[in-house]
């Protein structure tokens, strides 16, 4: 069976066909021969019974007249049956009346059989009674040889064998032709499959030759090959793209490295999880450490202990949120000296927004930091000086004003016209000096003050300002309107200071018509933008930046009194909170002052950093 399993289908089909045909024909032959033997015996029995009856009937007269000659003649008719071996006619007493035996056969009759019989015992023996008018007068016995049966069987067997051979030949011829209908498509299929597996050429196709199951199989195989060919093509294209992308990425990486190495800054890259995987040479040169010592989180050992925790915390926060990180911290140089650096890092993302890496730089800002510190100290000293000077000057200047007014009241009758005019100059000068000193004091205070301001309702701050300016508003018949104003994170005193200066200016620099002032606020990105609009004389755009400087005025004192400090105070306050102030205006068309206030968290942070 194992051998059969492994032989080619072509031969298998041949073996199956031949075996099936052979077995079927053999069975048919056996059937035919067996049936023939059976039917032959039956017809022989029928035939001999009829013959023996006929002979028995013809022998009655010979028995009655005891005429052996006539009986022998009757029996001699049996010569026509070559297979009849012998026949005997017995009288009623069992003696033999006549007998017949075939040529070359022993003659003589055996003892008269008692019973009528029909026996197959090698030969066929038929025993029949001879009856006259219902009375048994004798017995007829016939022996028939059965050689006819093997003869017939031989004849039939030979015939069947011949038929078997011819049928096998025809079956072989037919099956040879017909098995091609099955074996050829299968061989084709095998050839195609072998060729594909050897050459990996998926364009090969098997030939469909019929619409039966094999045709379906070939079609399915071809479709499968077409699918594989398509996928193979796509896969190759994807592979090509990927290789190109990899080459491009490698080239980009090389470019980046080259750029990073040629920059004076210290550059690093880190994995999305924060482990640093690249430092440019500047880092090693500066820290005196090797890349192996610096990689991952090894760089921590080069940070000043006082800056380490806050820096690690910001780095951790950025890794969690993906926000950029920027901090000033001290890095230890190879000689052990710590120098201030500005370190920044940004996340690089892929098309789907996933962080692929962090790129960071550190710039040495040590000199700048030292200069800033010097400047801060000088500024503080200067502010302190301005504050003390303004403060100390208040007293003598107030004295000048007060005493010049007392002199004017008490001794005006002693003075001539010139004296009175000079005294007027003195009083006015004292008053202006006092205002100047007050403004200067306000300016020096604008940069300092409370920090960590709670949220203030801008509408309340504006109302407070309007009540302070109520008299000036009433006198100028001004109309002040405002929209809904938000809550912002700014000191109420500072916001009032800004409102007061801007509204006061709007009242002061009025045109022909009564002033119309409108205050509003709108969200711009993440900040609030306030505006104070008036219908006054307006400002030449040429001066729109200059007017925010200290003592910068566009008008002479005679017409509009002032010190040129109000807008400088506004700018200082707004910038203290990280905001910006500017004006949009044209001469004769009124002016709109804008200032921004950053959102609460940034404002708080700005306030913190402003106060150190």
Binding site for ligand ADP (CB under 6 A): 501, 505-506, 509, 534, 536-539, 547, 552-555, 562-568, 591
Give the contacts of 452 (CB within 8 A, at least 6 positions apart).
604, 607, 608
Nearest residue to 304 via CA among 276, 334, 338: 338
Nearest residue to 584 via CA among 555, 543, 526: 543
Q: What is the DSSP string of 443-506?
A: HHHHTSS--SPPEEEHHHHHHHHHHHTHHHHHHHT-EEEE----EEES-HHHHHHHHHHHHHHH
Q: Is the dihedral of CA 11, 13, 16, 22 positive or negative?
A: negative
**Strands, DSSP E only, in 499-590?**
516-524, 527-533, 581-585
Smallest gap, in angstroms, from Cβ of residue 577 to ligand ADP? 19
- The Cα–Cα gap between 600 and 606 comes to 10
Smaller CB distance to ligand ADP: residue 22 or 447?
Answer: 447
Alpha helices in 210-328 (DSSP H): 213-262, 281-287, 291-294, 305-321
Smaller CB distance to ligand ADP: residue 462 or 607?
Answer: 462
Q: Cβ-closest residue to ligand ADP?
A: 562
Smaller CB distance to ligand ADP: residue 59 or 505?
Answer: 505
Smaller CB distance to ligand ADP: residue 163 or 554?
Answer: 554
For 446, counting Cβ atoms within 10 Å of its Cβ (0-12 exposed, 13-18 middle, 19+ buried), the class is: buried
Locate 175 and state its tokens: 């099956």
Smaller CB distance to ligand ADP: residue 203 or 557?
Answer: 557
Smaller CB distance to ligand ADP: residue 141 or 571?
Answer: 571
- The Cα–Cα gap between 33 and 22 comes to 16
Smallest gap, in angstroms, from Cβ of residue 564 to ligand ADP? 4
Smallest gap, in angstroms, from Cβ of residue 594 to ligand ADP? 12
Smaller CB distance to ligand ADP: residue 156 or 560?
Answer: 560
Smaller CB distance to ligand ADP: residue 127 or 568?
Answer: 568
96 beta partners? 90
Longest dimension (CA), the chain: 222
Smaller CB distance to ligand ADP: residue 39 or 551?
Answer: 551
Smaller CB distance to ligand ADP: residue 317 or 555?
Answer: 555
Locate 247 and state its tokens: 């080459």
Give the CA distances from residue 594 to residues 459, 496, 520, 526, in Å, rounded to whole numbers and listed in that order.
16, 15, 10, 16
Smallest gap, in angstroms, from Cβ of residue 546 to ligand ADP? 8
Smallest gap, in angstroms, from Cβ of residue 500 to ligand ADP? 11
531 beta partners? 520, 594
Smallest gap, in angstroms, from Cβ of residue 407 to ligand ADP? 28
Smallest gap, in angstroms, from Cβ of residue 566 to ligand ADP? 3
- The Cα–Cα gap between 488 and 493 comes to 13
Smallest gap, in angstroms, from Cβ of residue 526 to ligand ADP? 28
Smallest gap, in angstroms, from Cβ of residue 542 to ligand ADP? 12
Smallest gap, in angstroms, from Cβ of residue 248 to ligand ADP? 57
């Amino acid at each position: 069976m194992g051998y059969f399993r492994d032989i080619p289908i072509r031969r298998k089909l041949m073996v199956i066909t031949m075996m099936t045909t052979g077995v079927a024909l053999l069975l048919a032959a056996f059937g035919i021969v067996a049936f023939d033997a059976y039917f032959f015996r039956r017809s022989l029995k029928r035939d001999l019974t009829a013959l023996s009856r006929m002979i028995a009937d013809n022998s009655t007269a010979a028995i009655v007249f005891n005429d052996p000659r006539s009986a022998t003649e009757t029996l001699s008719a049996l010569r026509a049956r070559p297979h009849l071996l012998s026949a005997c006619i017995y009288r009623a007493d069992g003696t033999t009346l006549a007998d017949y035996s075939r040529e070359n056969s022993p003659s003589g009759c055996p003892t008269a059989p008692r019973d009528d019989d029909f026996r197959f015992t090698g030969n066929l023996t038929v025993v029949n009674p001879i009856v006259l008018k219902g009375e048994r007068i004798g017995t007829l016995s016939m022996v028939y040889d059965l050689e006819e049966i093997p003869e017939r069987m031989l004849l039939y067997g030979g015939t069947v064998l011949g038929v078997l051979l011819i049928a096998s030949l025809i079956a072989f011829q037919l099956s040879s032709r017909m098995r091609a209908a099955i074996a050829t498509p299968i061989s084709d299929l095998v050839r195609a499959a072998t060729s594909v597996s050897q050459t990996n050429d998926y364009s090969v196709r098997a030939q469909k030759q019929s619409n039966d199951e094999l045709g379906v199989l070939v079609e399915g195989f071809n479709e499968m090959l077409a699918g594989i060919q398509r996928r193979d093509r796509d896969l190759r294209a994807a592979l090509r793209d990927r290789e190109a992308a990899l080459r491009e990425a490698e080239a980009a990486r090389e470019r980046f490295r080259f750029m990073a190495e040629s920059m004076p800054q210290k550059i690093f890259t880190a994995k999305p999880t924060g482990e640093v995987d690249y430092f440019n040479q500047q880092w090693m040169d500066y820290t005196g450490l090797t890349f192996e010592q610096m990689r991952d989180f090894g760089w921590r050992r080069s940070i000043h202990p006082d800056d380490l925790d806050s820096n690690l915390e910001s780095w951790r926060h950025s890794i969690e949120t993906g926000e950029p990180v920027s901090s000033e911290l001290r890095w230890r140089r190879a000689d052990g000296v710590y120098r201030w650096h500005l370190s920044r890092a940004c996340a690089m993302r892929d098309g789907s927004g996933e962080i692929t890496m962090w790129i960071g730089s550190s710039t040495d800002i040590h000199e700048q930091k030292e200069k800033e510190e010097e400047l801060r100290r000088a500024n503080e000293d200067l502010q302190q000086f301005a504050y003390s000077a303004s403060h100390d000057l208040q007293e003598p200047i107030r004295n000048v004003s007060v005493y010049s007014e007392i002199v004017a009241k008490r001794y005006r009758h002693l003075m001539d016209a010139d004296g009175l005019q000079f005294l007027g100059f003195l009083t006015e000068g004292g008053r202006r000096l006092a205002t100047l000193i007050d403004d200067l004091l306000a300016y020096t205070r604008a940069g300092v003050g409370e920090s960590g301001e709670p949220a203030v309702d801008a509408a309340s701050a504006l109302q407070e300002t309007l009540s302070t300016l109520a008299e000036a508003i009433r006198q100028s018949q001004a109309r002040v309107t405002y929209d809904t104003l938000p809550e912002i994170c700014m000191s109420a005193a500072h916001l009032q200071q800004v409102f007061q200066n801007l509204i006061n200016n709007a009242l002061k620099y009025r045109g022909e018509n009564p002033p119309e002032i409108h205050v509003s606020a709108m969200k711009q990105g993440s900040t609030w933008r306030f505006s104070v609009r008036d219908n006054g004389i307006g400002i030449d755009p040429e001066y729109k930046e200059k007017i925010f400087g200290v003592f910068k005025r566009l008008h002479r004192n005679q017409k509009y009194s002032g010190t040129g400090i109000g807008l400088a105070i506004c700018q200082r306050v707004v910038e203290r909170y990280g905001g910006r102030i500017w004006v949009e205006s044209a001469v004769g068309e009124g002016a709109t002052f804008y200032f921004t206030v950053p959102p609460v968290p940034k404002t708080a942070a700005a306030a913190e950093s402003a106060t150190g």
